[in-house]
Amino acid sequence: MKAIIFGPPGSGKGTYASRLRAKLGVDVIAMGDIFREIMKEDSPLGKKVKQYVEKGLLVPDDVVIEVLKQRLAKSSSKKGFILDGFPRTLEQANALDKIVAIDVVIKLTAPDSIIIERLSTRWICKSCGEVYNVRYLKPKVEGLCDRCGGQLYQRPDDTAKVIKERIQVYERQTQQILQHYKEKKVQFVEFKCEILDMAPDVAVESILRDLKTLKLA
């Protein structure tokens, strides 16, 4: 399965992608995580990426596409992959079309009120990127990751003030990309979240059912 997952910040994208990875054995390729790793390196690429990410700007397409190409080449799973955070521009979508044919777009939606409540209570593992919520999806030990024992932190941009802006940016960026895949007649699996504290497995099971119907899982 070659999938792309789209969803506004706080829609559960990272959580569901991680569970789909466990259930389907696919690789999850999360662009934001890749850039956070690259920025830790004291390399020319790390420095360049940092200039954009720290300002909340998109990294230039040529850089993103090159980084993605290399990451895809390293992907070892024969079951396929889920792309998260890519493509974010039409140019990236067009470049991806030349690299690989996408089977399915997984599209998540959630109302703004749910997004804001979820993100302002979200904690992420520094080591493996697993996502928790101090109200609805608590780690077993406060401040520590269930999966790897890593330290949990809050992203500096997960504040109510910045979240509304991020939702608008997401919608602006994604509209034309979703249109691109509709025009190409790529299959869509959609999940609409309407309950704040919905168990992640409810969404994951629904997505899996739809993927099975499409014979992709």
Nearer to ligand ADP, 1 or 59 (CB): 59
- Selected binder of ligand ADP within 2, 21, 32, 72 (CB under 6 A): 32
By CB under 6 A, tell whether 52 contacts ligand ADP: yes
Catalytic annotation on 140? no
CB 16 within 8 A of CB 131: no
By CB under 6 A, tell whether 123 contacts ligand ADP: no
Q: Helix or strand or coil: residue 81?
A: strand
Task: Extract the tokens encoding 178.
Answer: 């979703």
Amino acid at 151: Q
Q: Which residue has the tokens 């997960």?
A: 158
Nearer to ligand ADP, 44 or 156 (CB): 156
- Selected binder of ligand ADP within 25, 56, 143, 149 (CB under 6 A): 56
**What are the DSSP calls for 103-128, one per residue?**
-EEEEEE--HHHHHHHHTTEEEETTT
Q: How far is the CB of 33 from ligand ADP (least distance, A)?
A: 7
Nearer to ligand ADP, 52 or 136 (CB): 52
Catalytic annotation on 88? yes
Cα-flanking dihedrals φ and ψ of residue 213, to 5°?
A: -55, -35
Nearer to ligand ADP, 17 or 217 (CB): 17
Whether the ω angle into residue 156 lies within 30 degrees of 0, i.e. cis, is: no
Options 47, 126, 155, 212, the catalytic residue: 155
Active site members: 13, 88, 122, 155, 166
